[in-house]
Amino acid sequence: MLMLKCPNCGVTAEETEFAPGGEAHLKRYTAGSEDQAFSDYLFARKNPRGVHFERWRHAFGCGKWFHVARCTATLEVFGTYSAQTSTPPDNIIAAVKAKRPDWEGFK
Amino acid sequence: MSTRLTSGGSVIDRETSVSFTFNGKKFKGHKGDTLASALLANGQTLVGRSFKYHRPRGIMASGVEEPNALVNMGQGNRFEPNQRTTTTEVFDGLTAKSQNHWPSLEFDIGAINNKVPRLLPAGFYYKTFMKPQWAWKHLFEPIIRHSAGLGNAPKEADADRYEYFYAYVDVLIVGGGMAGLAAAREAGASGAKVLLLEQTANLGGRLAVDSATIDGKPSAEWIAQTTAELEAMENVTIRTRMMGSGVFDHGYAMGYERITDHAPSDTAPRHRLWRIRAKRIVTATGALERPISFAGNDIPGVMLASAVRDYATLFGVSAGDRTVVVTNNDDAYRTAITMKNAGLEVPVILNARTEANGALPNQARALGIRVETGKGISSVNGYKFVTGVEICSQAGEGTPLETIPCDVVAMSGGWSPVVHLWSHCGGKLNWDEANAMFSPDPSRPPLGADGNGFVLTAGTASGDLHSAPALQNAITAGRQAATEAGFTPTESAAPLVITEAEEPMLPVWSMPAGAPYKLRAKSWLDFQNDVKVSDVRLAAQEGYESVDHTKRYTTLGMATDQGKLSNINGLAILADSVNAPIPKVGTTTFRPPYTPISLGSIAGEARGNLFKPTRKSPIDTWQDANDAVWEPVADWRRPYTYRRSGETTGQAVTREIMNTRTGVSILDASTLGKILVKGPDAAKFLDLLYTNMMSSLKVGKCRYGLMCTENGFLFDDGVVARLSDDEFLCHTTTGGSDNVYAWMEEWLQTEWWDLEVYTTNVTEQFAQIAIVGPNARKVLEKLGGMDVSSEALPFMSFTDGTLAGIKARPFRISFSGELSYEIAVPNAQGQAFWDKVMEAGEEFGIMPYGTEALHVMRADKGFIMIGDETDGTVIPQDLKLGWAVSKKKEDFIGKRAMEREFLQRSDRKQLVGLLTENPADVLPDGAHAVEGGKNRYGQENMIGHVTSTYFSPTLNHSIAMALIKSGSKRMGEVLTFPIGNNKTIKATVVDPVFYDKEGERQNV
Amino acid sequence: MSNAVSILNGATFNGAVKITEAGLRGMITLRGDLSSAQLKAAVSAAVGLDIPAQRKVDHGPMGGVAWMSPDEVLLLVEYDKADAITADISNALTGEHHMVVNVSDARAVFLVAGKGSREVLAKGAPVDLSPDAFGIGDIRRSRIGQLVAAFWMTEDETFELVCFRSVGAFMFDWLSTAAREGSLPEYL
């Protein structure tokens, strides 16, 4: 069971305080968009063995959403950061690179 | 005969006697005894019957690894099966009964299985109960069920209490033996917050039995002194009778504390499950001795060598008068020496190694004990108890050379480190060839949140089986754990341990090496599940090469002891059978808990009235006192109806409906979700959230709105009221309040964070009381305080004011089709308001109605219910709610999905009304409509199903709503609904609005 | 407001630790830009206190204020004054994006008092409640068993705990069970 630090209220708490929200940084496709793009937005999700970016909500705490950069294989947490960003910030990218030099980068 | 010795017994209090019963017979033991030691002290060596062959079984071990001596413990509401006698402390009044026999322990009919073991080989069940198919249900399963299981299932609810406890520490140390104590002292001295768990009642572990001199002190003194040092440290806590049962991700460990098992109590919890977060976990879990596989190694009296000396040293109990020791290592000589020094006979030590010249063998010889090298046991004589052993050459095929009378066989196949907790969360193992064991690989530990290892092993658990290196290893582990947890260990001198040097062990997986089938078929591997060497060989012959498959096929290691004694021997036999090295065959996965923990402890306090929170409205107490028939609605309980004495539930519902249609009734609608949405962008936000246009709603007005997911599927509905230019109140369904609130926040925080909008869930700030029926306005007028005329408060509007002296906000909205006011008042005054309404309404015959009347009346009107007419695949258009889906808005959640071809098809299932041919026939909920013909599976072709169905007292006719393929094109069609037993109901497709189609009744 | 009642009318349980339903309390949710001078002034006018730091709670003669999230504080006032203070703050923040709501009736408040109160909460909250990790002035939003809750300490060995009103009776039963005589771990 994971321990995560909520960047909004600063609490490091166990997983039971949080609710998972799936893959982070999805781009929303709306009215008029291409069928394939919309279908991918709805249904296609990354499932990497390794570095992954996720959304979590501090459901039993401050109620705020945030992002987590995590390794799905080892459960290592590289960092947590604001939900109000559409790509991982530089410091998170650097933190991942430092631990996973072979990581191909955020795509 | 086992008995109490006149001396020895470091953990028992000879001054204090306790009485207990075993199979109804009264016994006496001492405080500090385990049930096992007390039984042995009373000469009770036969304790149970085995699982498959019902063979007599005794006590084999002295701790958690005990496979045989399990009993039914306690009585009535404190009864529990499969309790280990070796880990149960005796107390006054303890009652235990042996298991798995009929009619008695001494004479067991089931032992007939033992006469025909060839008929019960590995995979017996898979091979035998295959055909005919019918026989499984009617013949095989009932028989197997009758004979399956060890103990009896409890029949009464558990009288005890259980609970959780959350603890956060820097260093958690599991195990209170030499290594655990030493590691704790190092970590404690650094200032780290340390919690040390010991599963038994006593500290010291093996050091309390196998003496050594540490830093000039005898072991007992070292244990006492180290314990005292730890107790003096404020940052260190020692908890005994608490097992470290599992290690999980990110420093999470489970502690299983047995608080009252040794001293029953009506106040204290029986077990407390500790949920511990530690920066570092040190597993000082020691090692377990391995049995040896020889014929008859399961007969009562055959015991682990270490257990035999544990009973003598710790409990002052001799397992028997004449002990034959059989071993492949030096350590077991300690047992011979202990027994001899206690004045008992040790006729021979059978040493499977060809030489034995270490300090311990020489000490044994010096005591006059006969030592036979290169020898083993061909077979054990006896059935219910050991009478002797047949000696043979280990290298041969088991030809008996000599019969040695004895009543105890103390066996030792070497030791395996307890790697369970290291392995639970992914710690990897190495094969140690010299000691023939798997030991932790410190370079591949379980990884924590920071990517570093968070578990360290200490002492023998690391694979250092001898005291001196084990102690050094533990000290290093304690210091490393403290350092990694952010503390600085203090300097300490290397310890000086003086103990006997030991020569290498020799792996002996089968005794004798060339044992023929006849011997192998009596050589047990898994004592609890009755798996023998012959079974594993047979599995290998039949092609089971993977350890995981073999385990499941033979049930090796699948009993309640999870193979603590059997795993390594079974692996070795399998490896030998398939001609592979042991590490290649690998080991099965170690999973928590380390030993079984009570289901009660997992449930914790969540039972009875604390099982699950029930949300209660402010009117709950009144409702409960006024005949409410409760119904769970989401997390709430709501009155289904208020059943008066003499009424059936159905009659009560009918009364409530007719009273509402003709007079006036009152409904507690407090459970509806209420969410405030405020900000400069509130209207814009709601336009995105709802399918309807909400920005055009006028202040003071209400609008029914729909919410869809991005898939276009309807998931909640409710009335939105505009409080001001920049503030809205959104009503949701009862079950949807938390979800919709979370949904709003999710979109605001993660997608549209540029919008200036705040939300607050005010569901529970208000009681919401609906006054419904033609006389509703009269009741409000009587309450007084504001103008509630149709001019001042028209349909689909609201206003703020006072009613009956209470701050109130009446909404003119209706879910019944009648004149209706839903009045929000402060929750804390909800009951007061309800009382005033009941008082004012008395002259109009007001009465409360429940959720069923609400449902029937809304169905009369064709109003949909989220969860009835929707199931996560339904779009508004399917429900004739296309009018509520804006075509003007550029975007809203679900809009893009509605452009998809599948959602635009004309043959989607659409909402229709149904009138049954016979007005009295009520369609079953979920009934399917068929259109004739069968599909390729031979099933009827189905075209849709009933979503809501009631008998409407208003219409005096059964009504239903259904989702039917191309339903809107089928008006007037008669559909067929098979309802089982070859019966069908026919119903005509009609408009789903059955009553007051023009809406005149609600708009007055 | 004589006819306003709290969820359990001040019920108490005396065990190893004393549990008391605290009666009606005024609580106001204020959301907005916590760094804004206008908002700070409004809060100061309402309860005479500054905006607390992250996860802190402060009390004074006029009331209390608790940090709830980066854009939310909870004002603790007298129940009967909550509506008026809510209106005052709303007026004071005219022109600034904010939300202020009286939520007094949506809550139940409990006092958990006595030696061992930390342990009562630690039976249900996955929170480090040892004295070096949690003290007076801290507020924690978490869960107690299955229930959402927030709690803080008013003095040594005394907690105030807030949950939703609809589960107030369940919370009281839970706390009473956890606080019964002879059940404390005596660890913290």
pLDDT tens-digit profile of B28-64?
999 999 999 999 999 999 999 888 888 999 999 999 9
pLDDT given at position C2:
65
Determine, yes or no, domain membership for B602: no
Average pLDDT over residues B285-295: 97
Residue A105 lies in a domain: no
* Domain C-terminal end among B390, B413, B436: B413
Shared-domain flag, residues B433 and B396: no
Mean pLDDT of B572-592: 91
B4-15: per-residue pLDDT in tens? 999 999 999 999
All residues of chain A having their beta carbon less than 8 Å from the beta carbon of residue B249 are 1-2, 75
The pLDDT, as a whole number, for residue B146 is: 61
Same domain, B425 and B397: no
Provide the pLDDT for residue B53. 85
Ramachandran quadrant class, C108 (left: phi over 0; alpha: psi -120 to 50; beta: rest) = beta
pLDDT at C1 over 60: no
Subunits touching A (CB < 8 Å, at least 3 pairs)? B, C
Q: What is the pLDDT of residue B126?
A: 67
Q: What is the pLDDT of residue B586?
A: 84
| Contact call for A16 and C70, based on CB within 8 A | no
User: How many Cβ pairs within 8 Å bridge chains A and C?
Assistant: 33
Q: Which residues of C touch A10 (CB under 8 A)?
A: 54-55
CB neighbours of residue B814 within 10 Å: 25
Taking residues B431-456, what's their average pLDDT?
96
Q: Is residue A107 part of a domain?
A: no
| Mean pLDDT value across residues B264-277 | 94
From the DSSP assignment, how many helices (H) and strands (E) are in chain A? Answer: 2, 6
**pLDDT, position B445:** 98
**What's the whole-number mean pLDDT along residues B288-302?**
97
Tokens for A51? 């570095």
Give residue B935's pLDDT. 92
**Is the residue at B607 inside a domain?**
no
Report how far residue B324's alpha carbon sits from residue B302's, in angstroms, rounded to the nearest whole number: 9
Please, are residues C148 and B761 in contact by the beta-carbon 8 Å criterion?
Answer: no
Q: What 3-state class would DSSP assign to B336?
A: helix
Inter-chain contact A2–B250, Cβ cutoff 8 Å?
A: yes
Same domain, B657 and B692: no
Domain that holds residue B630: 620-671+765-858
State whether residue C13 sits within 8 Å of chain B by CB.
no
- Mean pLDDT score across all residues of chain B: 95
Chain C hits for B617, Cβ within 8 Å: 166
Residues 6+ apart with CB under 8 A from B833: B767, B769, B803, B804, B806, B808, B823, B825
Q: Which residue from B566, B294, B123 is spatially nearest to B558, judged by alpha carbons?
A: B566
Residue C83, token pair as written in the block: 């509506």
Question: Residue B798 pLDDT > 70, yes or no?
Answer: yes
Both tokens of residue B781?
């007028």
The whole-number pLDDT of residue B129 equals 64
Higher pLDDT, B746 or B114: B746
- The pLDDT > 90 percentage for chain B reads 89
Total domains in chain B come to 7
Identify whether residues B296 and B379 lie together within a single domain: yes
End residue of a domain, out of B725, B749, B764: B764
Give the best residue of B741, B749, B750 to mutate against chain A (max A CB count within 10 A).
B750
Scanning the structure block, which residue is given the tokens 């006028």? B698
Comparison of pLDDT for B478 and B114, the residue scoring more: B478
The CATH number linked to B840 is 3.30.1360.120
Residues B116 and B262 in one domain: no
B972–A contact, CB cutoff 8 A: no
Among B239, B615, B680, select the one facing C166 at the smallest CB separation: B615
In the block, residue with structure tokens 């995979």: B123
Encode pLDDT of B595-608 as tens digits. 999 999 999 999 99
- Would you give the DSSP letter of residue B882? G
Residue A96, SS3 per DSSP: helix
Residue B380 confidence (pLDDT): 98
- Checking if the pLDDT of B100 tops 90, the result is no
The tokens describing B938, both together, are: 């031979």
Query: Looking at residue B101, what is its pLDDT?
Result: 79
CB pairs under 8 A between B and C: 130
Q: Which of B248, B277, B750 sits opposite A65 (nearest CB)?
A: B750
Q: Which two structure tokens, joined as six digits, stand for A9?
A: 């209220």
**Chain-centre distance for alpha carbon B256:** 14
Q: Quick one: which of C90, C102, C144 has its CA closest to C4?
A: C102
pLDDT of residue B966: 97
Which domains does chain C carry? Answer: 12-23+106-178 (3.30.1360.120), 26-105 (3.30.70.1520)
Taking CB atoms and an 8 Å cutoff, what residues of chain C touch B839? none
Q: Looking at the structure, tell me whether residues B769 and B649 fall in a common domain.
A: yes
Cα separation, B532 vs B523, in Å, equals: 6
Burial classification of residue B843, based on how many CB atoms lie within 10 Å of its CB (0-12 exposed, 13-18 middle, 19 or more buried): exposed
Q: What three-state secondary structure class fits B182?
A: helix
What pLDDT is stored for residue B181 in this prediction? 98
Q: Is-contact B763 B821, C-beta < 8 A?
A: no
Q: Which chain C residue has its CA at the smallest distance from B728's CA?
A: C99
* C positions 140-159 inside 8 Å of B (CB): 145-147
Spatial contact of B196 and B237, defined as CB atoms under 8 Å apart: yes
Cβ(B818)–Cβ(B773) below 8 Å? yes
**Same domain? B238 vs B257:** yes
Q: Which residues of C touch B618 (CB under 8 A)?
A: 165
Domain-terminating residue out of B134, B158, B182: B158
Average pLDDT over residues C12-40: 98
Distance CA B732, CA B759 (A): 14
Residue B250 is nearest to which of A3, A21, A84, comparing CB atoms? A3
For residues B3 and B111, membership in a common domain is answered with yes
Predicted confidence at residue B546, as pLDDT, reads 87
Residue A45's CATH number: 3.30.2270.10
Q: Decide if A104 is inside a domain.
A: no
- d(Cα B935, Cα B84) in Å, to the nearest integer? 57
Widest CA span in chain A: 42
Residue B446 has pLDDT above 80, yes or no: yes
DSSP state letter for B137: I
Higher pLDDT, B682 or B584: B682
* Whether the Cβ atoms of residue B150 and residue B99 lie closer than 8 Å to each other: yes
Domain of A89, in residue numbers: 3-99
Q: Are residues B919 and B993 in the same domain?
A: yes
Q: Average pLDDT over chain C, rounded to whole?
A: 97
H or E segment to which residue C59 belongs: strand C57-60
What is the pLDDT, as a whole number, of residue B895? 97
- Chain C touching partners, 3 or more CB pairs below 8 A: A, B
Let me know: does B308 contact B339? Beta carbons within 8 Å: yes
CA-atom Rg of chain C in angstroms = 17
Q: Which residues 54-93 on chain C approach chain B with CB closer than 8 angstroms?
A: 71, 83
Same domain for B728 and B806, yes or no, is: no
pLDDT, one tens digit per residue, over C85-139 is 999 999 999 999 999 999 999 999 999 999 999 999 999 999 999 999 999 999 9
pLDDT mean over A29-49: 96
Indicate whether B505 belongs to any domain: no
Report the C-alpha gap between B627 and B556 in whole angstroms.
58
The torsion angle over the Cα atoms of residues B79, B80, B85 and B91, rounded to 10 degrees, is -30
- Cβ(A36)–Cβ(A60) below 8 Å: no
CA–CA dist B840, B771 (Å, integer):
11
Return the CATH number at B684.
Answer: 3.30.70.1400
**pLDDT for residue B267 is more than 90:** no
**Separation CA B898–CA A35 (nearest Å):** 12
Instruction: Give the angle C32-C35-C36 at the CA atoms, nearest 5°.
Output: 70
The average pLDDT across B275-289 equals 98
B517 within some domain: no
Residue B125 scores a pLDDT above 80: no
pLDDT of B131 above 70: no
Among the partner-chain residues C54, C69, C148, the one whose CB lies closest to the CB of A60 is C148
Instruction: Name the band, by pLDDT with cuts 50, 70 and 90, for residue B118.
Output: low
Q: Is residue B512 part of a domain?
A: no
Domain count, chain A: 1
Whether residue B642 lies inside any domain: the answer is: yes
Confirm whether B121 is domain-assigned: yes
Residues B693 and B837 in one domain: no
Query: Would you say residue A26 lies in a domain?
Result: yes
Question: B618: which 2 tokens?
Answer: 């402010």
Give exposure, C133-148, as e/b (b: 16+ Cβ within 10 Å).
ebeeeebbbbbbbbbb
Strands B766-772 and B820-826: antiparallel
Instruction: Give the pLDDT mean for B969-978.
Output: 97
Q: What is the pLDDT of residue B545?
A: 84
What number of other Cβ atoms are within 10 A of residue C186's Cβ?
A: 9
Higher pLDDT, B198 or B133: B198
- Is A90 within the bounds of a domain? yes
Beta carbons of C142 and A64 less than 8 Å apart: no
CA A63 vs CA A107, B101, B180, B926: distances in Å = 28, 57, 41, 38
Q: Kindly state whether residues B563 and B581 are assigned to the same domain.
A: yes
Q: What share of chain B is helix, strand, coil (3-state, %, to 5)?
A: 25, 30, 45
Q: Output the pLDDT for position B265.
A: 86
